[in-house]
Amino acid sequence: MPSDGRATRWEQHRADRRRELVSHALRAIRVHGPGVALEEIASRAGTSKTVLYRHFGDRAGLYAAVVESVHAYIHDGLTTALELTDTEDLGRMAGDLADAYLGLVERDPHIYRFVLAVPVVTPSGAPDPAGNLPAIMGRHVSAAIGEHLTRTGADPASAAIWGHGLVGFIRAAADQWMDADPRPPREAVVSHITAIFAPGFTGALTP
């Protein structure tokens, strides 16, 4: 029916407009920092706060949309790193993932801090910055470790513990690193993480 077509086009327009506004919000955060005001985001988008409220409800709704976008960006970056690393060398994989995650954080520190600054009141179902992404990446890394253990004739039962543990450790290290003053070089942090996990993987996962 024609009305269904119009409704579909309208929904697509709203989705496209939301993505566009989120892009403007990310640019505003990079310029004004994690404490960016809605007025600054609206100005960057060439619109008004009323339009932001119409599409996101309030600051918490906009925050949730930004978190979803940032999670997708980090997930893509870590997935690429995981695909490029040598899963035969689990210690190297730990270092590669740590370097990829810290590199993404280092390139966009304001956005990372914005994501960590959870609004006091969040709408029902709003993404938790400590939630979905670590769980998703933990499953990816666990699968890679499990495949390695299966190939080498070892029991893959411990893969989930190591995979989720590694991702959680890297995220916690990144949070501390971002707040450190002075902040050590990224390479030093990656080296420490590799030094912790490489012998651990070797000792615990070698058949």
**Does residue 111 lie within any of the structural domains?**
yes
Tell whether the model's pLDDT for residue 129 goes beyond 60. no
Q: 40-44, 130-134, 174-178: lowest mean pLDDT where?
A: 130-134
Q: In this structure, what CATH number is given to the domain that contains residue 23? A: 1.10.10
State pLDDT tens for residues 156-190: 888 999 999 999 999 999 999 998 999 999 999 99
The number of folded domains in the chain is: 2
Q: What is the pLDDT of residue 191?
A: 95
State pLDDT tens for residues 56-98: 988 888 988 998 898 888 888 888 888 887 767 877 888 999 9
Structure pTM? 0.80
The number of angstroms, rounded, from the C-alpha of 2 to the middle of its chain's C-alpha atoms is: 40
**Does residue 167 lie within any of the structural domains?**
yes
**Does residue 143 lie within any of the structural domains?**
yes
Instruction: Report the chain's mean pLDDT, rounded to a whole number.
Output: 86
The number of angstroms, rounded, from the C-alpha of 5 to the middle of its chain's C-alpha atoms is: 35
What is the C-alpha to C-alpha distance for residues 184 and 63, in angstroms, rounded to an integer?
29
String of DSSP letters for 35-96: T--HHHHHHHHTS-HHHHHHHHSSHHHHHHHHHHHHHHHHHHHHHHHHHHS-TT-HHHHHHH
- Count the alpha carbons within 13 Å of 199 in the hemisphere toward its beta carbon: 4
Tell whether the model's pLDDT for residue 1 goes beyond 50. no
Are 94 and 194 in contact by the 8 Å Cβ rule? The answer is yes
> 186 with 125, same domain?
yes
Range of the structural domain that residue 86 is part of: 68-205
